[in-house]
Amino acid sequence: MTNLESLLSPLTFLGNLIEEQDQLTPLKEYESWWRAEGMAISEAVDRAGTPWLRMFDQFGTRVDEILFPPDYWKMLKRGYQAGVIWRPFANGSGASLRMHYLLDYVTCFFDAGLGCPYIVSMSTAVPLKKYGAPELQARYLPHLLRRDESVWQGATWMTEAKGGSDLGANVETTARNAGDRWILNGDKYFASNVGAELAIVAARPEGAPKTPQRGTGVSPVNHAQDARATFTPHGLALFLAPRYREDGQLNYFIRRLKNKIGTRSVPTGEVELRDSEAYLLGRQEWGIYLILESLNLSRVGNIAGSVALAQRALADALTFAAGRVAFGRSIIEHPLLRRQFEERFAQLQDARALMWETIHLLDQVWQEIPRYSDRYHLFRLVAHLAKYWTAELAVQFAKWGMEVHGGMGVLAEYSAERWLREAMILPIWEGTPHRQMLDGLEVMERKRAHQMLFEHLAPHADQSELQHISARIEQHLHLPAEEKEAGIESIFRDLATFTARTLARKR
Amino acid sequence: MTNLESLLSPLTFLGNLIEEQDQLTPLKEYESWWRAEGMAISEAVDRAGTPWLRMFDQFGTRVDEILFPPDYWKMLKRGYQAGVIWRPFANGSGASLRMHYLLDYVTCFFDAGLGCPYIVSMSTAVPLKKYGAPELQARYLPHLLRRDESVWQGATWMTEAKGGSDLGANVETTARNAGDRWILNGDKYFASNVGAELAIVAARPEGAPKTPQRGTGVSPVNHAQDARATFTPHGLALFLAPRYREDGQLNYFIRRLKNKIGTRSVPTGEVELRDSEAYLLGRQEWGIYLILESLNLSRVGNIAGSVALAQRALADALTFAAGRVAFGRSIIEHPLLRRQFEERFAQLQDARALMWETIHLLDQVWQEIPRYSDRYHLFRLVAHLAKYWTAELAVQFAKWGMEVHGGMGVLAEYSAERWLREAMILPIWEGTPHRQMLDGLEVMERKRAHQMLFEHLAPHADQSELQHISARIEQHLHLPAEEKEAGIESIFRDLATFTARTLARKR
Amino acid sequence: MTNLESLLSPLTFLGNLIEEQDQLTPLKEYESWWRAEGMAISEAVDRAGTPWLRMFDQFGTRVDEILFPPDYWKMLKRGYQAGVIWRPFANGSGASLRMHYLLDYVTCFFDAGLGCPYIVSMSTAVPLKKYGAPELQARYLPHLLRRDESVWQGATWMTEAKGGSDLGANVETTARNAGDRWILNGDKYFASNVGAELAIVAARPEGAPKTPQRGTGVSPVNHAQDARATFTPHGLALFLAPRYREDGQLNYFIRRLKNKIGTRSVPTGEVELRDSEAYLLGRQEWGIYLILESLNLSRVGNIAGSVALAQRALADALTFAAGRVAFGRSIIEHPLLRRQFEERFAQLQDARALMWETIHLLDQVWQEIPRYSDRYHLFRLVAHLAKYWTAELAVQFAKWGMEVHGGMGVLAEYSAERWLREAMILPIWEGTPHRQMLDGLEVMERKRAHQMLFEHLAPHADQSELQHISARIEQHLHLPAEEKEAGIESIFRDLATFTARTLARKR
Amino acid sequence: MTNLESLLSPLTFLGNLIEEQDQLTPLKEYESWWRAEGMAISEAVDRAGTPWLRMFDQFGTRVDEILFPPDYWKMLKRGYQAGVIWRPFANGSGASLRMHYLLDYVTCFFDAGLGCPYIVSMSTAVPLKKYGAPELQARYLPHLLRRDESVWQGATWMTEAKGGSDLGANVETTARNAGDRWILNGDKYFASNVGAELAIVAARPEGAPKTPQRGTGVSPVNHAQDARATFTPHGLALFLAPRYREDGQLNYFIRRLKNKIGTRSVPTGEVELRDSEAYLLGRQEWGIYLILESLNLSRVGNIAGSVALAQRALADALTFAAGRVAFGRSIIEHPLLRRQFEERFAQLQDARALMWETIHLLDQVWQEIPRYSDRYHLFRLVAHLAKYWTAELAVQFAKWGMEVHGGMGVLAEYSAERWLREAMILPIWEGTPHRQMLDGLEVMERKRAHQMLFEHLAPHADQSELQHISARIEQHLHLPAEEKEAGIESIFRDLATFTARTLARKR
């Protein structure tokens, strides 16, 4: 019979994935802190709902202060101190992001929304490190890497009111070249971690074209191969914008905080850029690649958060089922419920393997710049599959956890309903299921990433299964364009399941 | 290409199910009222969250007043006036409950929680009519059947703090015989429609035994066959308790209102029965049958509400998809999303057929008293399948609707997140999926209800499919008890899908 | 013994002030509506707290919709239908504003915040009528005078983030002449009735000077006498700005709604004027006079609202005291409490007289344009005295009402604490006590308005009292400037009390 | 010109009242903690509103857990650690309560509601120490005197739903003698600090009489003189009830938390005593004396809290006035506002003197038991005067502070409106102004306490003022009973003002 108890701790469940002792110690301390203090804080922050925004101080000066309770800031800073940002940068050139995602995992087991600030901070630090001019790095990077309470946060602001998938068409924020800096004007509509000290911002340099209105996805990777230096797909560039101008004034304004169903421990808002000072990251014509690189990082964070939340939902359901008695025994001992737990536990193990592989692949490619290697495209396909599949798992487990709780599951007093509210963002941000499927389709079509995947999986796969799915995909790729797109769902889901199950077998 | 637009109106979607013109007219008026006034009220009630309970007036007198805004009461009364209770009783002996469920359907399309007061009022009126002493009927029934604002509401209070599935063990409310009435004492933990003027209440007459602690489900139907008049399975009886005593004092107390994730338009609370006056319904030893009969009625209401909410979630997603533009066209025109809509629309049609058949079967059996006919057991199996399958559909469609909305889907300002919050109660109340499966299993085992079902479906079924599932079930029923229970999920789901699809083909 | 029962109804208390039967009938209907429906709505609106602002519809289009419940709009429109705006305009040239203020009075007895929309609508209609170009009147005035639900609302937006008293220095909104209209840019910080279809807006025409930084008050009336046509005190002009541009787009934006301690039935917000179309009212150089005229109207509304709220607080305290028993009798029968009621009732009668006189004086001067008559200055002094004195009364009575309720007084479930929350705005908006005193001082100094007041009061006054206070004031006016200002409080309070008591004697 | 800056710190303002250095050090540390951490926590707790009550854990076990955020508990425990309870008990027999009230003062400057838990804990510890049987003291007192986080809290529960002034008539909680303990049954309606581990509870021993229904006040002190051992005025006794029974079960139940306008940092609730175990304190027939002794302690706490809150309201107004600019200078430099600050500062100094004298008098009498000395009656009169006068001051200063803030004063984002919400409880709990006046009247009538007061004040008083007020009082005491009561307000207010001003002169 399965050892379901390993569900109760994120580190126990991750188990021997964590090979290095010097990683395990801070992770264990971090998990202990959550149990001793963080859980109660997190529950209180969720219960308090959307915080207020104090736009002006009482003398009428604009301040845009987010009124979280003090405990929130303590909880938030704890992860930075544990090393969610500074650790990956501490090892010099052979940097691995694993420790970032492991800390994300532990975080999201306890507070699924709190992973977001860490993830977007990393998605700010990495492009600054990779693409920032030396003096820009010197000025800003040390703030992001601090190990104490004075640490700065990052944020990634792309989406505008007309929607997030089709950035090429919908970004209306403009960037004007003003010599040593750029001047940004526009509104960002879903601005996560909205009070951050630094943000990377997608904007359209004056004179750059809008996306030609064809094609299906944001993914411009294929265009890159053909690209000439003078061509800017989608016309976007990526900028770094600090919260305060050089003269100490606010450099952007928070119009309001969004009232969300979940993830209340990350403040999401609307941002107004009004002659905001910003600095170009990388080459102007690479903008969309940099945006997608940033999305790679946060997408993997989403995967880690999804698996962690799925685990948490099962863990709480297990605790409930062990304590609740019906028909003379605890309900975990009822055969049907027991079976359901075991099936979900097995799925969770598959998800863990898929997550881990995605992190490893990212570690191999995250320092690449255009033009990218084949490995990069393999990573992209796996990330699309994993993002889609793990987020779905998180939602379904959270839903099922509520059912296990029965009537208790819908009461705001207890945790079960929270996990569903938290989970629902996971399939949505960093790209909806539709986007994962369509972008996954594209990288298969254009890069034949599925072939690389099958080669990658072959040593561990059931060969007949592998051949079957491989044939289905080849066949599908020969369909007419409309039908290829329309029918992608089931094949994509099966490919994800196959990949996860095969990877789980690998270990 | 599918006519998705029929999703936008409940009556358009139900279409020719409604045969009689005298039903259609009030239904149309009712739907029109919802569009003109009800939708805005419903949205405001949901937004306002859990209402306050004013336990005492300012002079210190206990009053237990639920502080909904005035508009709430207007919205609530509108359905009663439309005939959700009085119409089925207006036709005398050949009464059909169809009009009740049709009005529920329209209600739940606009406000999934508001169906509950109507359903529990019906679940109060029916046993009063079937089992109440003549003078009890004379005193109370007319109040429930009023057609104006003075109408009384009903409620069904069974569950206590230790849980709802195993009533036999968990009901600790006692009933003491006091001549012309009974005196109840105990606490009810999930009391829906908690301010109702009348409630049916499960209680344990003094001296009655607790359930023997064996077996798996609440279902005592099988015992009935062997029962002697002196045997009371589970030791429960069913009582009618008014809100006010004969002397005008409160007859029960509302301890508090529950803070729920959804269904805020039905007040759910905890009730304290303290020497509360009550009247026995039917024979004391029939208690558990009457409870299950009441559950039959509300379970069918749950089915109607689930299909209605599933429709609503699709309808709102469709509206969004028609208005949202990405990559140069509205997203409903994107092949993948279009395909997903069509697939879900087909499933919704199957669900509609399954719902309609369940209502028809109920119409054939709801006036039976123990011992029940075979038809009753067929109804029970279909109701278990339909309750399980349609609630799952409602949740999945609500979830998917949020994904279609993208980031807008998680914002409290818009409707999409509401439907998920509303939906999550549907798999839970009136019995979780686990209970539907296990009780469905039992009625197959003991009554061979699956055979009746297959005969019922045969004229419309794909014969090879029918034979295949029939064989699977027979085989499953020969497994050892533990394994039979543990493995029921997939077979039960497939049977539900098959039944729904076959019934859809019938029309 | 006093007939305290007249406290329970606003119209009973106003009694024979209302001379015309054709006024009494709609007033009575209006009060009846409040009892039958309005009170419950008002209570629910207050309990719901600050409404949400839906800035964007789900497709990302800016809409700035205020999410009050439907009942709110019904309650709001009821006063417009009763004639709070249209009635004073229905009589042609001999127009009296009495009916406006009587309806305000009844409104504020039931909902102190709801008076504000009516008052600012009147403060919009009057300058439009007095100073608007004929085609402007033709286009907009009829909307404000409608008698059905399609009526438009007005609003008066002067204050900016740096403060409201010193408009001359703090208004930074600019107006640019664009031929047939003006283009406004700036932010308004306390914008009452923020969703109004029309607003009058203070702005600074390009090129106009800021206030010279000397002196003590906003009041520029004295300057007017010396003014030449080319001189614009404070550099402000008054504009009319509609909610929608001619092309149907939003003409101003609501940045957010303020979370206020009370008056939740008027939405107060921050407004962004962004190239907003507007129309000049009157002569540009008259701006500050028009602003002050508008303030006259709303200040009298504040007076009516204060007396009404003071009455309501006493009324609720009386109801409580009649029902609450201590030491064997209802507490209203306790000698001390009875005495306190009687003293406050007498004060309330003084306040009623003061209010009524202010309304009558306004009726005599409200159609004047610069340069104003002596009567106008008399009105100003009385209005300053009455605004200060009645608002103080409202707060003190609300506070005392809470004390009468004892512990019940601080509970959000009951009404007593609401009246204090509602009352606290009354001394603040339309000018704080400090402003009333200083502006009152100025009109005494420069216009010798106190002499006019004493002549006005002489027939009814106790002559020795009159001589005493008259001498005190003359003496005070000879003090050095700093001391004159510093010591104004006690003399101003005594003058107000004397005036009120004398006027009460008149009737 | 006045040194208004001393307003900004509670300890600076108290200044040389604190003579001992060993008191000053912990007080300074405590104030520093508030500035560094406590203020932000307090603001967040207020903003979060009434906490939730988790009545049952998810398994259905009653737990009555109050869901404050973790920071609340940290803030709460900080005062206990600083010594608000343990310090006065640390000095043995010559115990002074000064340090308790000084810590209360600092607490209430920062969070007016948080004083309550400390005050009621002291009001629990003192009677336990004075009147508890030795084994009761041994079992419970050490828990209240702990210096770390494990400290227990106390609470004082007297009032029931019918009202708090007339305890003799309104207490319906019964006490049944069960040998080594008593069994209590009843409901407490305003139960401050409702989750406390220990509470003193007023209850009516079986067989004890209700109050004879005559007389005016609760005060039975006069009866005491004539009392025989067998006579129990009001029929009440005082009990100590722990939160948990000896068997670990909850010993009382929290029915709900009250939603109050202010003082959200003390949970106030309704308590159900259901066969609750309790222990008699003192002699049964002394009950009402012990209740009044407990009230003495909390009344002095109310006085300290009122002065502290009045100071805070002025301090925040001063900060605002120093930073807000109008007419070219900060508004604190405007002569009228400056004068108003100075007048209020002088009043605050009077209040400080009055508070300090009350504390000193209490120190002289708090260890007395019936029959009391003359000093005790002097203390009572001064406490009535001070409770009335300082609470009034707190409310008026908070109101005035809002006016200084102008529009900012009514916004929930800033502190000014909070102080008014907090202040309004101060005139109400521990006896309304009416009760202070009537009980003060009684102690003058029966004990001629005013004569003792005048002797006490004589060395410092203006002699003509003293003679004037003395004569007024004597005259008043000769009025007929009804008139004596009806007319007490103005004379009582003048006596309080005179007393405060004279005491201020003393230092």
Q: What is the 3 state secondary structure string of B354-413? A: HHHHHHHHHHHHCCCCCCCCHHHHHHHHHHHHHHHHHHHHHHHHHHHHHHHHHHHHHECC
Q: Which chain C residues are closer than 8 Å to B324 by Cβ?
A: 59
Q: Determine the distance in angstroms separating the CA of B435 from the nearest CA of chain D, rounded to an integer.
A: 19
Longest C-alpha distance within chain D, in Å?
77
Q: Do B413 and A259 touch (CB under 8 A)?
A: yes
Secondary structure of A215-258 in HEC code, one letter for each residue: CCCCCCHHHHHHCCCCCCHHHCEEEEEECECCCCCECCEEEEEC
More confident residue, D229 or C433: C433
Q: Number of residue pairs across C and D with CB atoms under 8 Å?
A: 164
pLDDT digits (tens, 9 = 90+) for C407-423: 999 999 999 999 999 99
* D68 phi and psi angles, rounded to 5 deg: -70, 155
Residue written as tokens 């016309």? A235
Q: Which residues contact D202 (CB under 8 A, 6 or more apart)?
A: D157, D158, D167, D171, D173, D236, D237, D238, D239, D287, D291
The beta strand positions in C315-410, using DSSP E, are 325-326, 329-330
Q: What is the pLDDT of residue D196?
A: 97
Min CA distance, C161 vs chain A (Å)? Answer: 5
Q: The pTM is what?
A: 0.94
Measured between beta carbons, the chain D residues lying within 8 angstroms of A59 are 320, 323-324
Chain D residue with Cα closest to A37: D70
How far is it, in rounded angstroms, from Cα B218 to Cα B291?
Answer: 10
Q: Answer yes or no: do B69 and C67 touch at CB < 8 A.
A: no
Token digits for A495?
């490919």
Q: Is D189 on the interface with B (CB under 8 A)?
A: yes
Flag if D59 and A413 touch (Cβ within 8 Å). Answer: no
Residue C241 near residue C25 (C-beta atoms within 8 A): no
Chain C residues within an 8 Å CB radius of B323: 58-59
Following CA atoms B441, B443, B446, B450 in sequence, which dihedral angle do they give, to the nearest 10 degrees?
A: -80
Query: Rounded CA gap, B419 and C244, in Å?
Result: 33
SS3 label, residue D120: helix
Contact list in D for residue B60 (CB cut-off 8 A) is 160-163, 189
- Helices C98-110, C21-33: inter-axial angle, 10-degree rounding: 20
Find out whether the peptide bond into A371 is cis, omega within 30 degrees of 0: yes
Three-state SS string over C169-227 comes to: HHCCCEEEECCCCEEEEEEEEEECCCCCCEEEEEEEECCCCCCCCCCCCCCCHHHHHHC
User: Is C65's Cβ below 8 Å from some Cβ in B?
Assistant: no
The two tokens of residue D101 are 């009230």
Q: Which residue of B has its CA nearest to D189?
A: B60
Answer yes or no: is pLDDT of B222 > 60: no
Q: What residues are paired with B199 via a beta bridge?
A: B241
B41–C320: do the CB atoms touch at under 8 Å? no
pLDDT in tens, C479-491: 999 999 999 999 9
What whole-number distance in Å separates Cα of residue D65 and Cα of residue D67?
6
A56 vs C: CB within 8 A: yes
Q: Quickly state the pLDDT bin for B233 (edges 50, 70, 90).
A: low
Contact D219/C at CB under 8 A: no
Q: Which residues in chain D touch residue B49, judged by CB atoms under 8 angstroms apart? A: none
Question: What pLDDT sits at residue B165?
Answer: 75
Residues of B in contact with A486 (CB under 8 A): 335-336, 338-339
Query: CB B162 to CB D60 under 8 A?
Result: yes
C-beta of residue A302 within 8 angstroms of C-beta of residue A213: no
Indicate the pairing of strand A269-280 with strand B198-205.
Answer: unpaired
pLDDT digits (tens, 9 = 90+) for C279-326: 999 999 999 999 999 999 999 999 999 999 999 999 999 999 999 988
User: Chains with ≥3 Cβ pairs under 8 A against A?
Assistant: B, C, D
Contact B71 C69 (CB under 8 A): yes
Q: What is the mean pLDDT of each run of 10 residues along chain D (507 residues)?
A: 87 90 93 98 95 94 96 98 95 82 98 97 97 97 97 96 80 95 96 96 86 42 35 78 96 96 95 98 94 96 98 98 91 96 98 98 96 97 98 98 95 94 94 96 97 97 97 97 97 98 90
Contact residues, chain D, for B259 at CB < 8 Å: 52
CA atoms of C456 and C450, how far apart (whole Å): 9
Residue written as tokens 């279409």? B15
Q: What Cα–Cα distance (Å) separates residue A222 from each residue in A227, A233, A297?
A: 9, 11, 20
Q: Angle formed by the axes of helices C98-110 and C287-323, to 10°?
A: 40
Q: Provide the pLDDT confidence category of residue A486 given band limits of 50, 70 and 90.
A: very high
Nearest-CB residue to D410 (from C260, C406, C487): C260
pLDDT in the model for residue C210: 62
| C488 contact D CB<8A | yes
Chain A partners within 8 Å of D40 (Cβ): 69-70
Q: What is the pLDDT of residue A211?
A: 52
Instruction: Report the length, in residues, of chain C.
Output: 507
C191 touches chain D (CB under 8 A): no
DSSP class of residue B54? Answer: E
| Partner-chain residue, chosen from D163, D166, D411, that has the shortest CB–CB distance to C259 | D411
Inter-chain CB pairs, B–D, below 8 Å: 30
Measured CA to CA, the distance from residue D235 to residue D211 in angstroms comes to 7
Question: CA C276 to CA C401: how far, in whole Å?
Answer: 45
CA separation for the pair C166, C288 (Å, rounded): 12
Distance CA A129, CA A120 (A): 14
**What pLDDT was estimated at residue D94?**
65
Preferred mutation among B37, B47, B58, B413 to probe C, highest tally of C CBs within 10 A: B58
pLDDT over 60 at A370, yes or no: yes
Q: Which residues of B247-261 are buried (b: 16+ CB within 10 A; e: fewer)?
A: eeebbbbbbbbbbbb
pLDDT digits 0-9 by tens, B268-279: 999 999 999 999
Count of pairs with CB atoms under 8 A, one residue in A, one in D: 58
Residue B359: partners with Cβ closer than 8 Å, 6 or more residues away: B97, B98, B101, B300, B304
- Residue A204: beta bridge partners? A174
Q: Looking at residue C227, what is its pLDDT?
A: 34
Report whether pLDDT(C468) > 90. Answer: yes
**In this predicted model, which residue has the larger pLDDT, A183 or B234?**
A183
pLDDT of B260 higher than 50: yes
D67 at the B interface (CB within 8 A)? Answer: no
| Three-state SS at A363 | helix
* A197-206, B203-212, D237-246, D258-267, range with the lowest pLDDT: B203-212
Q: What is the pLDDT of residue C92?
A: 67
| Cα distance between residue C473 and residue C399, in whole Å | 31
Any bridge partners for residue B274, and if so which? B185
CB C254 within 8 A of CB C192: no
Average pLDDT, chain B: 92
Contact C166 D327 (CB under 8 A): yes
Which residue in chain B has the smallest CA separation from D253?
B255
Q: Which of D169, D406, D425 sits opposite C432 (nearest CB)?
A: D406
Q: Out of A68, A71, A323, name the one closest to residue D59 (CB).
A: A323
| Alpha helical stretches, state H, B164-208 | 167-170
- How far apart CA D195 and CA A42 sit, in angstroms, is 22
Amino acid occupying residue A297: L
Q: Which pLDDT does position A232 carry in this prediction?
A: 47
Contact assessment for residue B72 and residue B66, using Cβ atoms and an 8 Å cutoff:
no
Positions of E strands within B60-181: 62-67, 156-157, 174-177
pLDDT of C372-409, one tens digit each?
999 999 999 999 999 999 999 999 999 999 999 999 99
Average pLDDT taken over every residue of chain C: 92
- Calpha distance B429→A301 (Å, rounded): 35
Average pLDDT over residues B60-83: 96
Q: Which two tokens stand for residue C363?
A: 């009726």
Closest CB from B215, B263, B425 relative to A327: B215
Q: Please check whether residue A81 is in contact with residue A102, taking contact to mean a CB–CB distance below 8 angstroms.
A: no
User: B439-489, pLDDT tens digit by residue?
Assistant: 999 999 999 999 999 999 999 999 999 999 999 999 999 999 999 999 999
Which of A122-131, A213-222, A343-352 is the least confident region?
A: A213-222
The percentage of chain B sitting over the pLDDT mark of 90, rounded to a whole number, equals 86
Which phi and psi angles does D287 have, rounded to 5°?
A: -45, -50
Rounded Cα gap, residues B458 and B64, in angstroms: 54
Residue of A52, A63, A110, A413 to mutate for D, most D C-beta atoms under 10 A: A413
D256 → closest Cβ in B59, B61, B256: B256
Q: Which of B56, B62, B163 sits opposite D60 (nearest CB)?
A: B163
Check if B323 contacts C (Cβ < 8 Å): yes
CA-to-CA distance for C400 and A422, rounded, in angstroms?
47
Q: Which of residues 436-455 of A touch B (CB under 8 A)?
A: 437-438
Residues in chain D: 507
For A406, the token pair is 């029965």
Residues from chain A contacting residue B399 (CB–CB below 8 Å) = 395, 399, 424
- CB < 8 Å to B170, chain A: 326
With CA atoms as reference, report the closest residue to A23 among A102, A76, A85. Answer: A102
C-beta neighbour count of A21 within 10 angstroms:
7
Q: Cα–Cα–Cα angle for B450, B455, B459, nearest 5°?
A: 135
Our measurement of the distance from residue D266's CA atom to the centroid of its chain's CA atoms, rounded to an integer in Å, reads 13
Q: From CA C375, how far away is CA C453, in angstroms rounded?
A: 10
Chain D nearest-CA distance from A40, in A, is 6
Q: How far apart are CA A367 and CA B118, in angstroms?
A: 61
Q: Which of B335, B427, B432 sits opposite A486 (nearest CB)?
A: B335
Helix (H) or strand (E) holding D54: strand D52-56
DSSP C89: H
If one compares B164 and B12, the residue with the highest pLDDT of the two is B12
Q: What is the mean predicted confidence (pLDDT) over B497-505?
A: 97
Phi-psi region of A492 (alpha: psi -120 to 50; beta: other; left: phi over 0): alpha
- Phi first, then psi, for residue B369 (nearest 5°) are -125, 165
The pLDDT assigned to A166 comes to 79
* Residue D373 identity: S
Chain A nearest-CA distance from C58, in A, is 9
- Dihedral of CA atoms D305, D308, D310, D314 in degrees, nearest 10, equals -160
